[in-house]
Chains A and B, each alone.
Chain A
Amino acid sequence: MSRYNKILAISFVLLIILSVISLSLGVKSLTLETVFNTVINGGDEDFIINQYRLPRIIISILVGIGLAVSGVLTQGIIRNPLASPDLMGISGGAGLFACSSLLIWPEVHSALLPLIAILGGFSAAFLIWLLNHFNHPSPARLALVGIAVSAFLTSCINFILVLHPVEMNSAMIWLTGSLWGRNWDYIWPLLPWLIILVPFSFYLAWSLDLSALGEETATSLGVNTECLQVLALSSAVALASVSVAVCGTIGFVGLLAPHLARLLVGPRHKLILPIAALTGALLVLSADTLSRNLAPPLEMPAGVLTAVLGAPYFIFLLYRYKGW
């Protein structure tokens, strides 16, 4: 078994183990035997396992995959170690649109929500493009612009939540990212986007490898760089936005997962993508499992837990690439 397959198998097994643990732990902890029986046959614990914990685990995994793949695509094009959908403000835009549409128009159809979030993501992307258009931004500058845009959009979300006071847990979703109250209904609007965009990102993988040589060299090797940039960045914006539509901005996953995957398996995107996706899923699922179990029945927002890991890493990156 090659080293790569080993890494792939280990992350996959870890994800399964974590899912089982997550199914059994909670306000009411269940034995593994009960968990298996309930998943297969239903029974007394059907609601807790099959209606409450299982959909949440599946959503965690899907959102983790979406955010991680979005991060791989963004970093592949922008060639900036700090580039990721949440740090650049894309998630902020998606969050603002999704949360304001829910508060202003509460009966909005759940299939429409990802579309509204995507609109927000693209608006934020356009804003960032405008702010960076007139000079070639250094990596640190790009990140700073993103942080400023994110801060602005988050304050807009705050403002809206103050105007329309909501219950604490739903506020948490839009402020820090949380999977509170997410059930099967939230899976169906999310799934088709992932089914289309994740394989599509594999289709772009080889061109992204070439794009790492810089625009000039990639073009001279026959890559249509403009087309590639539009396709990859649009997919990245859409993937991040639909994830945000379901559970808000779970920060740093789009930064950490691609970096970790690159560190483990090297520079080929074909190899990075599966590992990043699994790492992203593991990150969100661990964050959500912890969030439910740190102080039950109270919940911590999952976004706070990913930030505990992500923020120090972000500072480390800023420190490591001082010379920019």
Chain B
Amino acid sequence: MIHIENLTVNYPGKKVLKKLNLSIPQGKITALIGPNGCGKSTLLKAISGGLKAAEGKVSIVDLDLSKLSNKNRAKKLSILPQSPITPEGVTVQQLVSFGRNPYLSQWGILSADDNKKVLKALRDTGLIELSQRPVIALSGGQRQRVWIAMILAQDTEYILLDEPTTYLDLTHQVELMEMIKTMNKQGKTIVVVLHDLNQASRYSDELIVMKAGKIHAQDSPEKIFNSSLLQDVFELNAIIINDPVANKPMCVPL
């Protein structure tokens, strides 16, 4: 369970998050949705420690995350940023092995156990054949799988993903979301920012809807994903139908 109390985050001259209070449930997939600029990515970065909060507290169960060293926090919580930098020349295997950093000394020497975990992450994401290729030479879909593999190698209980499907074609979006579902079934708590509302409704157990730096609504998609919510938050006229495959609410804009 991630608890957020009174969280306020400022960018120079602008309050992005205003005294947020929320809890993210354990063992579920929670999707963060909201219009552009509402603070979804900022919230994710503030949880991961990538951004310093001006005020407030983020804790896992009873553990205040700001009290942990970077390494200890990185053992609890991993994050995939929206557009991570792919360094030139780094191979798939090297990049995935970076995920082991929280468990390594300053010299970065991987033990047999670390190598086993890297190998498993490569296998789980279907990257074994590509493991010696430079990441920069891969397609967008393959590259996103490499980042997921790095996070799997990091082996944290909580995984945060910032718009992981945005730059992918539909096939690879579905492939990635299924991969996230599998990770969740293996016990990981997932928090994911999504732009595609139907994707959010279909794959999440819990929806957090944000508007202008505040939480507008939080509950299961079945309970809150309706046309008045879409009107209020996105100013979108839409009807809701039932997704015949996933049996979840699905919107069709008018």
Residues of chain A having any CB pair with chain B under 8 Å: 79, 203, 205-207, 209-210, 212-214, 216-217, 219-224, 262, 266-268, 270
Contact = CB atoms under 8 A, between A and B. Distances in A.
A254 B30 CA distance: 48
Contact of B98 (A216, A221, A224): A221
B101 A212 contact: no
Q: Which 7 A-B pairs have the closest CB atoms?
A: A206-B108, A222-B74, A212-B87, A222-B71, A222-B102, A267-B89, A214-B85
Given A216-B81, A217-B81, A209 B70 contact: no
Nearest to A79: B85
Interface in B78-118: 78-79, 81, 84-85, 87-90, 94, 98-99, 101-102, 104, 106-108
B48 A267 contact: no
Contacts of B75: 222
User: Which among B49, B88, B101 has the highest number of chain A CB atoms within 10 Å?
Assistant: B101
Interface string B38-56: 0000000100111000000
Contacts of A219: 49-50, 70
Interface string B60-82: 00000000011111110111010
B154 A203 contact: no
Nearest to A220: B79
A54 B139 CA distance: 54
B85 A266 contact: no
Contact of B99 (A203, A221, A266, A270): A221
Nearest to B75: A222
B154 A217 contact: no
Contacts of B98: 209-210, 213, 221
Nearest to B156: A220
Given A220-B50, A221-B98, A213 B84 contact: yes
B106 A203 contact: yes
10 contacts: A206-B108, A212-B87, A212-B90, A213-B87, A220-B77, A221-B74, A221-B99, A222-B69, A222-B74, A222-B102
B84 A217 contact: yes
Contact of A206 (B71, B78, B81, B107): B107
B99 A267 contact: no
